[in-house]
Chains A and B, each alone.
Chain A
Amino acid sequence: MQLSASSRHRGALALLSMPAVLFTAMMVVFPILYTIWLSFRTAPLGHATQFVGLANYSQLAHAPQFWNSIKVSLTLYVISLALQLTGGTYLAVLLFQAKRMPAILRSVLISPFMVPPVVVGMMFLVILDPSLGAANWVLSLFGIGPSAWLASPEWVIPTVALIDTWQWMPFVALIVLGGLQSLPPSVYEAAKIDGAPSRLVFWRITLPLLLPTLATAAILRTVDLLRFFDIIYVTTQGGPLNASDTLNIYGFHIGFELFQFGYASALAMTLTAMVFGVVLALNRLRKAVDW
């Protein structure tokens, strides 16, 4: 690269990124280091912090509510991701077969994930109301009995997964559609000449070639799903009976309602490690299925 040859240029380029570097150091790197430090201390309000070693982490390991949160977060994650990947792929294949994407259809598809999650929570509180909501009315049209939805400890997590799927399945579909459009057409032509039935073409050719795109979509959704907060905070606050108490809801409760910053920091570190772990694993998977 000729541009970077001169050192004057290189200095100017470094200068260009300097403000962003400083900001990132101040607002992203420093807080992360501070949280790591805090996670080994107690930080009672109005008092100096004290080193407590791994006490926060061992408190975490012995807290039934923490394990409940792990279970809730992972259940929500698995159900949502499965729904969004299968639904998104199905929608993407339809869009691909339709060939054209009218502006009105694209507008419909991007609308859900542009709506603020808080507003999504508000609209579904009304739609899913156990006694007067539209959802139970629609079910009754098909002869299906009413559900308590968000008010039911058994159904709250599947319901939240459905809400999140409503919001993000179109996003996954658009990513998968991009993947479908980038597949080499020669593959289909060859299959067509061989007279392969379309079902077989999808399962044996299209889907394997789509795996890297699906892995990318999975990574993007993992990052949001494992730290699920907004919609649950707005609708159930982790209830009923802690049945929707995700790690982030639990962490918020410890940190900003009980103000146990040390303990909350240990939880935030654990959650971050989980997200990074899953993302790294998915990234390895993505590289393994790449072609």
Chain B
Amino acid sequence: MSDRTLSQPRREQLMRVLVIAQLVILAIGILFPIAWMVTSSFKSSADVTAYPPTLLFRPTLDNYTRLLQTTPFFSYARNSLIESGSSTLIGLLLGVPAAYAASITRASWPALVTLSARMAPGTLFLIPWYIVFRDLGMVGTYGALILTQAAITLPIVIWVLLPAFDAIPRSILEAAGVDGCGILRSLWRVALPLVSSGLVIATILAFVFSWNYFLFALVLSDENTKPLVVAAFNYIGEGSTDWGGLMAAATLIALPPLVLAIAVQRWLVAGLTLGAVKG
């Protein structure tokens, strides 16, 4: 009997070590491709194609200086910023009031539309968009890109904010109504401050998904309005001979979403999985 009680804590300790060991191995596996991309971007052209791969190497910034000097990387980055930033703004301006109204009236259509927009394949929208924008002479304009990207950001904003508004106790909103607050004022003064973390998450997720979205810009952008993800695709054609430059471009393009996501990681997981979990 005393033998059992003695071995119990040791068994639990051993279990814990096993769990952590497995988690460490998995985390290394998950991190490996990203780490490989980043380290490759600092390798000289001889090191980056060495086989077997060189693990210890003299880091160089050559790939980055070459990328920034020989390609219009900064203007692509500016395009990405303009398109993702504006479409995020539109998504918020339209989505916040809509989510608020839907939360109060318990309307179900915004959730439905959000879901349908998420379910339909991009080509379903892209064919009519392309035809209409072509007839309007808008293919290759920021306008077309911002509008189509807003079709990505609006559902995200509603998806994240609807449960956040739903979580506000109704009595607080009613009190604001009794105090004679207009509906806009009670949204601005009472409800928005209560969902501020949801708002941050909605903004960041909308921006990241718009930044990452490839298909619409692939068809609707031209050389002057091309965002980074589409430009990156061109680098691949050239990059078959220049892995260092390709990985430098990849690293720079992935950096903004990664930094933004990691900055708000704790909330982000909750925002993404909210409503996905029974409760």
Footprint of B on A, CB under 8 Å? 1-4, 9-10, 12-14, 16-17, 19-21, 23-24, 27-28, 30-32, 34-35, 38, 43, 91, 94-95, 97-98, 103, 105-112, 114-127, 131-132, 134, 137, 140, 166, 170-171, 174-175, 178-179, 182, 212-213, 216-217, 220, 223, 226-227, 229-230, 233-234, 247-248, 251-252, 255-256, 261, 264-265, 267-269, 271-272, 275-276, 279, 290
Contacts and interface: CB of A to CB of B under 8 A. Distances in A.
Contact of B113 (A28, A31, A109, A248): A28
Please name the 5 residue pairs, one residue from A and one from B, whose CB atoms are nearest each other, closest first.
A20-B98, A227-B121, A116-B212, A34-B128, A16-B97
Nearest to A29: B113
Q: Chain B interface: which size bin?
A: 35 or more
A206 B57 CA distance: 48
B278 A125 contact: no
B119 A126 contact: no
A122 B246 contact: yes
B53 interface: yes
Interface in B14-58: 15-16, 19-20, 22-23, 26-27, 30-31, 33-34, 36-37, 40, 49-53
Given A137-B52, A264-B127, A28 B117 contact: yes
B232 A122 contact: yes
A126 B40 contact: yes
Interface in B170-206: 170, 173-174, 177, 182-184, 187
Q: Tell me the interface secondary structure of chain A in the complex.
A: helix
B118 A223 contact: yes
A178 B121 contact: no
Interface of B: 15-16, 19-20, 22-23, 26-27, 30-31, 33-34, 36-37, 40, 49-53, 90, 93-95, 97-98, 100-102, 104-107, 110, 113, 116-131, 147-148, 150-151, 154, 158, 170, 173-174, 177, 182-184, 187, 208, 211-212, 214-215, 218-219, 229, 232-233, 235-236, 239, 243, 246-247, 249-250, 253-254, 257-258, 260-262, 265-266, 268-269, 272-273, 276-279
B269 A174 contact: yes
A10 B260 CA distance: 37
Contacts of A269: 124
Contacts of B116: 28
B127 A265 contact: yes
Given A114-B257, A114-B261, 15 more contacts: A3-B173, A9-B183, A24-B113, A27-B150, A28-B151, A94-B19, A107-B262, A111-B34, A115-B258, A137-B53, A171-B272, A226-B121, A230-B214, A268-B121, A271-B121
A272 B51 contact: no
Contacts, number: 281
Contact of A123 (B37, B113, B126, B214): B37
13 contacts: A17-B110, A19-B94, A19-B97, A31-B127, A119-B37, A123-B33, A123-B36, A126-B37, A166-B30, A234-B233, A255-B130, A261-B131, A269-B124
Contact of B51 (A13, A38, A117, A137): A137
A169 to B, nearest CB: 8
B215 A279 contact: no
B23 A94 contact: yes
B18 to A, nearest CB: 9
> Among the interface residues A17, A30, A107, A247, which one has the most CB atoms of the partner chain B within 10 A?
A17
Point out which of B95, B101, B107 has the most chain A C-beta atoms below 10 A from its C-beta.
B101
